[in-house]
Structure 1
Amino acid sequence: MNPAILFILGVVFVAIGVAVSIALHEVGHLVPAKLFKVRVTKYMIGFGPTIWSKRKGETEYGFKAIPLGGYVAMIGMYPPNKEDGSVRPSSTGMFQTLASEARSAAHEEVGPGDEKRVFYKLPVWKKVIIMLGGPAMNFLIGLVLTAVLLMGFGVSSPTTTIADVSKCQVKQGETVDPNSAACQLTPAAQAKLQPNDVITGFDGKTVTSWAELTGWIRASAGKAVQITVERGGQSVTTQVTPVLSARPVIGDNGQQAKGPDGKPLYEEVGFLGIGAQTAMVPQPASSVLPMAGENIKQIAGVVLNLPARVVGVAQAAFSSEPRDPNGPMSVVGVGRAAGEVAAMQDVPVQSRLAALIGLIAGLNFALAVFNLIPLLPLDGGHIAGALYEGARRRIAKLFRKPDPGAFDIAKLLPLTYVVAGLLMAMSALLIYADIVKPVNLFG
């Protein structure tokens, strides 16, 4: 298939995945809100002008022109003025006016019989569940997709089948002409091992995995051992003597480890001179949670350092510096990465599809973690406001003081607008950077 068409299909795949993820995030808010009898007036995907909507019961469901998010509108998000119980503007101050106008909008659709269906009158635990529902849905989507990825597609893992046999023993940093007298044959070449040989035995032990075999080879430097391979349907046994060689030390992240001085680490171990073929190996269910946890940990690290990361993106976008491949990306960057994956015709279709599913899973974990930042207008800001309300009510009860009532989160709207402005500016910067200086994920 034409690479351009494959690229477009990859972008469309991710676009649909993002849209579904946003829709389900809002379902995570919608369902508990309805279960707790809050009147939900709107369930919308996107922002701006409405391009399609349909009313079902008391809720209008629809799509808006700008597909960069979504929202669920609930009546009575903010309590009335504490002083007079009014939802109308009662002050000419800028901040007070912002809060009063927000209260008015929140109570516009409150009608007779809705007094007990407003959001602000809910118990704290119900408010937390409603606002936590969106991120929880994204966590669930990410977890399910991780399970599909690991248990259905598997992980690219080395097998016991030989992919290649090195001819010459080469010291780190050196090159040797395989046809010259300087080429000292590797133990594998001396034993005439061949690509596609399946190693079944080593030193009298049955080989069940590449990792197991690697450990035995590394521990057998200078020792002559029997190695058995299956070749063309026949079992062939020969003798090899692994040589002592400096090999890279691999860290827990799968990359070469470095010492305190920043230099790559090596260790003297046994060496044969063979490489393994890889295959997609399904993983057990027990691997899903650890993998999801590792993804969430990495994303949380990016979010915690987001200001510095965004500064790095800005520096790269307006200079010759390269982008950090582990830095934040916009949906444009994710779409571009998806297109590049889909267009890799030298990679099996199964592996490409697995990579695309992995992108959607990671995106959902990122949405969940980002939305839990305790700042309005994010879900985490509403959760923090509800927890603060609960804490001050408990303190008032402990000291036998009057119930302070619902926390007026509308008073934080000036901060909300500042945060929203910063988020829009960050989004614009990331989109620009993803266009002029995209992240190079594939070398």
Structure 2
Amino acid sequence: MFSIGFHEFGHFFWARKFGMRVPQFFVGFGPTVFSRRYGETEFGIKGIPLGGYIRIVGMIPPAEEGESTRATRMRSFIAEVRGAALDDVLPTDGDRVFYKKPWWQRVVVMFAGPFHNLVLAVLFFTIVLTAFGIPQATTAISAVPECVLPATSQERTCAEDAPPSPAAAAGIRAGDTIVAIDGRPVSPVPDAGQDDEDTGWGQVQSVIRESIGTPVALTVEREVDGATRRVDLTVTPIANEIRVDSDGDGEADGTETVGYVGVQAAQTYVQQPVSAVPGFIGDYTVRAVDRLAEIPQRVPALFGAAFLGEERDPQGPIGVVGVGRISGEVFSIDRFTSTEKISLFFQLLAGMNLVLFLFNLLPIYPLDGGHIAGALYEKARATVARLRGRPDPGPFDIARLMPVAYVVAGLFLVLSALLLVADVVNPITLAG
């Protein structure tokens, strides 16, 4: 709700800054739960928390001179929408209406809402990276499986005839910390500025994966009778299949044969410098854009999960209810420390605001990006007319896009309803 309100405040602030009249500022849709008027604006909350809006007078300009008056169903619909919008315009409004403002002011007003979501995303990501850090594998061993299970195996327990893991056979124990491999020192966590495979757990993984059938010397630190001692061990990796992301889309969709010893690294949160924030957000943005582009093709699976009892795709889209459910689940799972819970919560907020920023900038009316595209087109059209020595054609008549807007809005409402049902009857959970 705060993200929605902050988004709308971005529109509201700059609209008022440029002298536009804003009669309404509401968070939510549907029936009004609460409202109060301050000055010329009515502020309030609606019953369905799936968005929000501010109403700026004059969003749709009057009909252009010379426009055909021949009656058709489409023209009648556009005229009806235009008339409803112009009913808000008072004789005293003058130049305070939206369509009379310079194109760049309209762009600023419409961009300000998504920009506020971007500000929140950057703020929350900065808090996550610099205050809490990001989880990174350490050279401390948290678990040593007793046997070897291929990545393609559906079993998760060791059978009696299952071969023992090389780590268990070599005497590696949970709680050990690897400090050297093949005589080369290993830092507990990755050193900044070095490639992952050259430092920390990445260095250990790199050597083991490339050493199928070749003995590897390990030096570990181990607590023995209250004292820390160094123990030299030798382990021989065996060939094993692991799941890999073959096409770089963030999902494991293939397998690869590598050296395997059977140890699970412990994780710790490593604080990052502020300079790491832009790169982190850039990578996250690329993944978010890919996820947005995949939404249409995931709708059939979402419908199946909502109404046909099919398994919910854990990588699929979620709605407001789903975000709230996962947020609550984060704080209820005992295996997460307090730091992890707060960090995950801020990551959810950051990711949600970044997606809102990207989604609202889609150049589709009635989204903010559609209004921005209309203003930019108007400017380009006026520039071309001026270069050709022709008069300014005037405001772009966005009312002509209203049929498209209703279709787009209808699709968004259907998707929102589908997400709502799926999040209630077949939710995505952290437990999988």
What's the TM-score bracket when you normalise by the shorter of the two chains? 0.7 to 0.9
Structure 1 position 410, deviation (Å): 1.5
Q: 1:329 aligns with which of 318, 321, 325?
A: 318
| Change in CA separation of 1:306 and 1:203 when aligned onto 2, cut-off 3 Å | closer
Distance (Å, rounded) in 1 between the aligned partners of 2:250 and 2:303: 29
Query: Could you tell me how far apart the structure 1 residues matched to 2:347 and 2:165 are?
Result: 41
Which letter maps to 1:22?
Answer: I
Instruction: Mark the runs of 5 or more structure 2 residues left unpaired by the alignment.
Output: 188-199
Aligned to 2:214: 222
Asked if residue 368 in structure 1 is aligned to residue 357 in structure 2, the reply is yes
- CA deviation map 1:92-145 (0-9, x unaligned): 654344434444444445445532221111222221121111112112212221
Q: Is the partner of 1:415 in helix, strand or coil?
A: helix
Q: Which amino acid in structure 2 is aligned with residue 157 of structure 1?
A: Q
Matched, 1:31 2:10: no
Counterpart residue identity of residue 62, structure 2: P
Gaps of 5+ in 1: 1-18, 259-263
Is the contact made by 1:30 and 1:40 (CA closer than 8 Å) also made in structure 2? Answer: yes
Q: Does 1:210 align with 2:198?
A: no
Instruction: Return the letter of the residue paired with 1:434.
Output: D
Per-residue CA deviation, residues 164-203 of structure 1 (Å, 9 max, x unaligned), is 234556777698668x8x86673x4455433222232333
TM-score by length of 2: 0.84
Query: Matches of residues 266-345 of structure 1 in structure 2 within 5 Å?
Result: 266-267=257-258, 269=259, 271-345=260-334
Output the TM-score relative to the length of structure 1: 0.82
Compare relative contact order (CA 8 Å, sep 6+) and give the higher one, 1 or 2. Answer: 1
Query: Residues 416-427 of structure 1: matches in 2 within 5 Å?
Result: 416-427=405-416
Q: 2:314 and 2:146 mapped to 1: Cα distance?
A: 35
The answer to whether 1:240 aligns with 2:229 is no
* Whole-angstrom distance in 1 between the partners of 2:170 and 2:405: 70
1:399 aligns with 2:388: yes
Paired position in structure 2 for 1:14: none
How many angstroms apart in 1 are the aligned matches of 2:413 and 2:222? Answer: 60
Q: Which amino acid aligns with 2:12?
A: L
* Residues 373 and 237 of structure 1: CA distance in aligned 2, closer, same or farther (over 3 Å): same
Aligned to 2:397: 408
Deviations 1:140-175 (A, max 9, x none): 212221222222222222212121234556777698
CA contact (8 A) 2:181 2:216 kept: no
Q: Is 1:56 aligned to 2:38, yes or no?
A: yes
8 Å contact kept, 1:257–1:265: no
With over 3 angstroms needed to count, the CA separation of the structure-2 counterparts of 1:340 and 1:241, relative to structure 1, is closer
Evaluate the alpha carbon distance shift between residue 160 and residue 385 of structure 1 in structure 2; reply closer, same or farther with a 3 A threshold. same
The equivalent of 2:340 in structure 1 is: 351
Greater displacement, 227-236 / 19-28: 227-236
Does structure 2 conserve the Cα–Cα contact (< 8 Å) formed by 1:201 and 1:229? no
Cα displacement string for residues 228-250 of structure 1 (whole angstroms, at most 9, x for unaligned residues): 42534433242424344335264
Describe the shift of the 1:169–1:104 C-alpha distance in structure 2 as closer, same or farther (beyond 3 A): closer
Q: Counterparts of 1:380 and 1:61 in 2: how far apart (Å)? A: 24
3-state SS, counterpart of residue 40 of structure 1: coil
Rounded to whole Å, the distance in 2 between the matches of 1:139 and 1:298 is 16
Aligned-residue RMSD, C-alpha: 3.1
